[in-house]
Amino acid sequence: MSARPRIATAPPAKGKPVTLSSLTERKALGEPIAMVTAYDYPGAQVAEEAGVDVVLVGDSAAMTVLGYPSTVPVSVDEMLMLTAAVRRGLRTPMLVGDLPFGSYEASDEQAIATAQRFVKEAGCDAVKLERGGTSVQRARAIVEAGIPVMGHIGLTPQTATALGGYRSQGRTADRALEVARDALALQEAGCFAIVIEAIPSDLTDELMPRLEIPAIGIGAGPSTDGQVLVMHDLLGIYDGHAARFVKRFASVREEMIAGVRAYAEEVRTRRYPEPEHGYTMAPDELARLRELLAAEAPAT
């Protein structure tokens, strides 16, 4: 278990954008980093108002907002549209765009070109990619091209099939060593931070003293420098399977269903709209309209 003190602090002042150095500083001070996903303009406004430090437009959007069965099918263009919408609602948190499956693995050139689109077309501050292995070199190339990169190790959903499904990683010493090596290689490649997903807390505790960059956990225990959750999971908007690490902080889906059901009911019973939801016309204008209509198009 990491011995670093955990200090409860106020979120950074609104209007002072979160930067790479402010994240490094938070790690040094032992101040936990709060990261959340967002996929649209209102979601970004919520993240802004709530005072989180980092917003990720995760490729989890594939499942949470686009209805795909996994993160694999989502395209760069789909991700760019969602990410640009989030950018328009965000001022303070750092914005990280998620490079989707198939958009960075083939070559350094492909990785740099895709990362540049996320910066130029969607206004990202940084990009995230998944896995160790060949992704380490892709991360290095993007960093060398001047774009900050966040790594992602442990359970990497884009390659979940090869990992035996959506299951925790690093539970044997050999696999844990691979996960640790991936983390250290990404750090060495110049990543400014790393997401660690679904690994035993014991493994995280072994990793933390070896990581100089902020580690953001999701199902990796309490000793990371911060936590990330999918917005639709934590708010209870998404109805799909929720992983063990998801804590529901609200039941927004229930509220949404209740609201839409009440609306439909009032439409069907003619209780909505009421007079205050409509617009009025001055009586003399109405009288004149009736005359004009009567002359031009008599009611049948």
Catalytic positions, written as ranges: 197
Residue 58 near ligand KIV by CB under 6 A: yes
Residue 38 near ligand KIV by CB under 6 A: no
**Minimum distance between the CB of residue 110 and ligand KIV, rounded to whole angstroms?**
20
Question: Which span sits near ligand KIV by CB under 6 A: 51-59, 239-247, 272-280, 282-290?
Answer: 51-59
Residue 230 near ligand KIV by CB under 6 A: yes
Cβ neighbour number for residue 151 with a 10 Å cutoff? 28
Question: Which span sits near ligand KIV by CB under 6 A: 56-64, 111-119, 173-181, 185-193?
Answer: 56-64
Residue 82 near ligand KIV by CB under 6 A: no
* Closest C-alpha to 83, from 115, 122, 113, 42: 122
**Minimum distance between the CB of residue 98 and ligand KIV, rounded to whole angstroms?**
5
CB nearer ligand KIV, residue 52 or residue 228: 228
Residue 195 near ligand KIV by CB under 6 A: yes
Which listed residue (44, 54, 60, 187) binds ligand KIV by CB under 6 A? 60
**Minimum distance between the CB of residue 239 and ligand KIV, rounded to whole angstroms?**
16
CB nearer ligand KIV, residue 39 or residue 265: 39
Residue 154 near ligand KIV by CB under 6 A: no
Residue 37 near ligand KIV by CB under 6 A: yes
171's tokens: 């539970």
Rg (CA), the chain: 24
CB nearer ligand KIV, residue 90 or residue 230: 230
Q: Between 198 and 227, how does the x/- string for binding to ligand KIV read (CB under 6 A)?
A: --------------------x---------
**Minimum distance between the CB of residue 285 and ligand KIV, rounded to whole angstroms?**
54
Residues that bind ligand KIV (CB under 6 A): 37, 56, 58-60, 98, 152, 195, 218, 228, 230
